[in-house]
């Protein structure tokens, strides 16, 4: 896997898609930690990364990369011999650790050095030399974590149930302030965040065995056609191909 791949790998149309090894691990305070490897004799392929509201910090032999919150599909090259270790922040929780608002890295793939300076180079060397690279990366990132904007949990929960106006009213803030704080925390305005989170909820339900119609209804879409349209818009391909 190349350092530009930063979301759970989806089935890839390649000569040898089963040869890669991807694993996720629980990590307190984070969405997860993960590793991925591609054997040296495997075929290269391109993975489609789709929006999920998360931010990933990814170590590879080339260095440490930050993958910001996406608004559309991003192709990521996977090459024979690639091996990465990474951490994934839950939506809204990355800015305190990275030191920049999330909208500054939206749709971005940038070296961690751009944000942490020489500390990023030292961390890359430490992870490379560690017996457990993933544990070393997780520990270093968690040391930098601080509390997110206190509105983050309420915004995520509220947007799953109601409109942006409902969320703003429930929090006692204006819609303009909600947008400003959402951009800084999530990288998206609340309407885009709602679309991305709804999209991911529906995909999770379909993967868990729900029909597309039932998943669309449960996630808050008007109907299955609405779900299909959003998948094409956010993922760049039909839901059947994506799954």
In a domain, 11, yes or no: no
What does the pLDDT look like over 186-239, one tens digit per residue? Answer: 999 999 999 999 999 999 999 999 999 999 999 999 999 999 999 999 999 998
> Given this model, what pLDDT does residue 19 score?
67
| Domain interval for residue 90 | 17-144
Same domain for 52 and 161, yes or no, is no
> Given this model, what pLDDT does residue 12 score?
36
In a domain, 173, yes or no: yes
| Torsion from C-alpha of 67, 68, 71, 76, nearest 10 degrees | -10
In a domain, 26, yes or no: yes
Domain-ending residue, one of 90, 116, 144: 144
Average pLDDT score over the chain:
90
Q: Which two tokens stand for residue 111?
A: 């070296």
Domain-ending residue, one of 144, 168, 191: 144
* Residues of the chain below pLDDT 50: 1-18
> Given this model, what pLDDT does residue 239 score?
87
Domain-ending residue, one of 144, 166, 199: 144
* Domain CATH number, residue 218: 1.10.10.60
**Buried-state track 203-212, b at ≥16 Cβ within 10 A, e below 16:** bebbeeebeb
> Given this model, what pLDDT does residue 72 score?
95
Same domain for 67 and 125, yes or no, is yes
Same domain for 121 and 32, yes or no, is yes
């Amino acid at each position: 896997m190349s350092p530009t791949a930063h979301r759970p790998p989806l089935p890839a149309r390649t000569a040898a898609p089963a040869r890669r090894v991807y694993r996720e691990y629980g990590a307190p305070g984070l969405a997860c930690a993960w590793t991925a490897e591609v054997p040296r004799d495997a075929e290269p392929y391109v993975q489609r990364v789709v929006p999920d509201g998360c931010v990933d910090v990814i170590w590879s032999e080339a260095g440490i990369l930050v993958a910001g919150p996406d608004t559309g599909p991003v192709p990521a090259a996977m090459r024979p011999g690639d091996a990465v270790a990474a951490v994934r922040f839950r939506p809204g929780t990355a800015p305190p650790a990275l030191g920049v608002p999330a909208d500054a890295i939206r749709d971005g793939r940038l070296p961690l050095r751009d944000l942490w300076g020489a500390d990023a180079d030292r961390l890359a060397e430490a992870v490379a030399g560690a017996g457990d690279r993933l544990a070393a990366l997780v520990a270093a990132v968690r040391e930098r974590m601080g509390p997110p904007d206190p509105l983050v949990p309420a915004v995520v929960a509220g947007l799953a149930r109601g409109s942006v106006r409902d969320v703003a009213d429930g929090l006692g803030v204006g819609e303009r302030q909600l947008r400003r704080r959402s951009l800084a925390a999530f990288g998206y305005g609340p309407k885009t965040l709602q679309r991305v989170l709804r999209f991911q909820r529906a995909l999770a339900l379909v993967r868990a065995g729900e029909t597309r119609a039932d998943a669309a209804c449960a996630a808050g879409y008007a109907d299955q056609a609405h779900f299909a349209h959003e998948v094409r818009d956010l993922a760049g391909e039909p839901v059947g191909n994506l799954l």
